[in-house]
Structure 1
Amino acid sequence: MPATSDDTRTYHSFPGAHYVLPADKPERDRLDRQHRVLKHAYDDKLIWSPVNLVPGSAVLDAATGSGAWLLDLADQVPDGVQLRGIDIESRLFPPLHPNVEFFTGSVTALPSEWSSTFQLVHQRLLTLGLTAAEWPDAFLELKRVLVPGGWAQIEESSAGSRHWESGPITARFEDMLSKLNTSRGHIFDTAAQIPNFLADAGFTNIRTEVRGIPLGKWAGKEGCDNRDGNIVFFQAIKTPVLNGGGFGHVSTGEEFDRLLAEMVEEWDSTPGSKWNFTIFSVQKPLSEDV
């Protein structure tokens, strides 16, 4: 029996894009919450690449979503630093900000006039946005728009092959999400494969910052904030999972909701539960022109 859904969320309509998650106010709110969780987990430090931003420097936030990272950065960099964000879905953009420009477009085909423009490019969480075939193109585009010697900061869920670590229910949910990714041509263990993609694109000086972010009531406020953000994320993939037939784990929306509730209970009651996350910092060689 096929899985069913009564979802009323709004999804993107950008030609050729494969992004799974919605493009509406609840998703914008989720992205803002997710940014706060990640910022806290990474010691409130937004830039891990060793780049020096001065007046006249330019920064690109690729797949900017709600623009949360970029707006935070606007409060920290000197006046005169140019800040741009690009995403396939303008409905996620924040209100106009005097020091930030937002553009509609894909990371796989950035504007041609941006070649060798940015000292820093930031990209976060495109595991559910890019197919396996698109990742190499995206990294070549990021390298093209960097100045020689510029840095890219790539942020993705998981450390190696594991995104969430807790107990058997979490492992079951992770398997369901892995199968959803595979069904859509995406890569699930993205963080494990990114180093090879970056090297193939010609980046050098690859550095990593890995965090296991506490997940659940046992970890106090940080664990509850991370739990709540992940719950909203999983609720957002409900329709894609059900439209895909449930992947052997659920058959109805009610079964999905019940499995999610059981996973949340597992997080709350299992010390050590965590969401894994990795930040990669890489450099465009000085000798390259594009």
Structure 2
Amino acid sequence: MTRPPTIFSDFDFKEFDRWQRQHYLLKSARKANAWASFNTTKGAVIIDVGTGNGIWALEMANQYPNVQVLGLDRVLPNDQQNGPENLRFVQCDVTEAWPMGDNAVDFIFQRSMGDAMKQEQWGPLLKEMYRVLKPGGYIELIENDFWRHNPGPVQQAFDAFIQEQCKVTGVDFQLTDSLDTLVNETGFDQVDKKTMDIPLGEWPADQELKQFGFINKEAHKALLKNYKDFYVKQWGLSSADFDLAVQEVLEEFDEHHSFTRFHCWVARKPL
């Protein structure tokens, strides 16, 4: 269920749009683009791993004009020419060696790559982060649980299917638990893990949470629509039956007070 390595397909554009919504959702809920305390002096370097549509890297480059921001991904954003001078995108497979030397980077950010990485790739990826990071530099990782919390019966069927697909593709369904051990075993210290629950749907009474729930629900709706062909083929459903199942899931979110649980790890490379 990872995005295909094609350049600017219709699928990519739809996913870029969904990632844009998720970016603003997380930025609004976290009240910041980053929680780590990183070096922002002239010449400092920030890496955005799996940059996607590049929005996080773009905003960080605008916010910190003295810092060099590099976005790494297999598929690069479609509008690279209009960014600030301190922003650059590099096409590479982040599961392999990165095109930079040891102890070269001040801050590394990564989010929402749980479904794009096989279980055995996480250890080497964290070691590569450790290699290029300067002593005293920080990493910040954000991943959400693959399953929805407080799911209705139809959502439970979707979650069970995702768990089975993870087994088939080698993706770690329990990644948000596994990363605790991997970050520590890599050698990082001062590991700080925070958990954040974001509603699915407009069921909260709090107006800010209601707005977050609306955006999160729309992002989930876009996710299911973007992968419709995959689900229809795997489940042997008709197009109409799948659309009905999606509608039932969206209704369940409000009925069952469902939510998405995000986890954030901030850790330092020892001095």
TM-score by length of 2: 0.88
Distance 1:93 1:204, change over 3 A: farther
- State how far apart, in whole Å, the 2-side matches of 1:274 and 1:121 are: 28
Distance 1:95 1:266, change over 3 A: farther
Q: Does the alignment pair 1:39 with 2:24?
A: no
Deviation at 1:60, TM superposition (A): 0.2
- State how far apart, in whole Å, the 2-side matches of 1:137 and 1:96 are: 33
- State how far apart, in whole Å, the 1-side matches of 2:77 and 2:68 are: 22
Letter in 2 for 1:254: A
- State how far apart, in whole Å, the 2-side matches of 1:37 and 1:105 are: 27
- State how far apart, in whole Å, the 1-side matches of 2:76 and 2:216 are: 26
- State how far apart, in whole Å, the 2-side matches of 1:215 and 1:268 are: 7
Contact 1:215 1:268 in 2 (8 A): yes
Q: Does the alignment pair 1:67 with 2:54?
A: yes
Q: Does the alignment pair 1:184 with 2:169?
A: yes
Q: For residue 228 of structure 2, what is the aligned residue in structure 1?
A: 238
Q: Does the alignment pair 1:283 with 2:244?
A: no
Q: For residue 227 of structure 1, what is the aligned residue in structure 2?
A: 217
Using CA pairs below 8 Å that are at least 6 residues apart, which structure has the higher relative contact order?
1
After TM superposition, list the pairs within 5 Å mapping 1:66-105 onto structure 2.
66-77=53-64, 79-91=65-77, 94-98=80-84, 99-105=86-92
Q: For residue 4 of structure 2, what is the aligned residue in structure 1?
A: 11
Deviation at 1:12, TM superposition (A): 1.6
- State how far apart, in whole Å, the 2-side matches of 1:210 and 1:22 are: 34
- Please give the secondary structure, in 2, of the residue aligned with 1:113: coil
Q: For residue 193 of structure 1, what is the aligned residue in structure 2?
A: 178
Deviation at 1:92, TM superposition (A): 5.3
Cα deviation digits, residues 256-285 of structure 1 (max 9, x gap) = 322211110111333x32111011111112
After TM superposition, list the pairs within 5 Å mapping 1:244-263 onto structure 2.
245-246=234-235, 251-263=237-249
Deviation at 1:114, TM superposition (A): 3.5
- State how far apart, in whole Å, the 1-side matches of 2:229 and 2:269 are: 39
Q: Could you tell me the percent identity over the aligned residues?
A: 26
- State how far apart, in whole Å, the 2-side matches of 1:200 and 1:240 are: 36
Cα deviation digits, residues 103-158 of structure 1 (max 9, x gap) = 11122124343421111000111111011111111111111111112110011012
Contact 1:207 1:282 in 2 (8 A): yes
Letter in 2 for 1:217: E
Unaligned regions of 5+ residues in structure 1, if any?
A: 1-9, 15-20
Q: Does the alignment pair 1:209 with 2:199?
A: no
Which of 245, 248, 255 pairs up with 1:269? 255
Letter in 1 for 2:211: K
Contact 1:163 1:277 in 2 (8 A): no
Q: For residue 17 of structure 1, what is the aligned residue in structure 2?
A: none
Contact 2:57 2:69 in 1 (8 A): yes
Count matched residues.
262
- Spell out structure 1 runs of 4+ moving beyond 4 A: 91-95
Deviation at 1:240, TM superposition (A): 3.5
Contact 2:98 2:128 in 1 (8 A): no
Q: For residue 157 of structure 2, what is the aligned residue in structure 1?
A: 172
Unaligned regions of 5+ residues in structure 2, if any?
A: 205-209
Question: Aligned Cα RMSD in Å?
Answer: 2.3
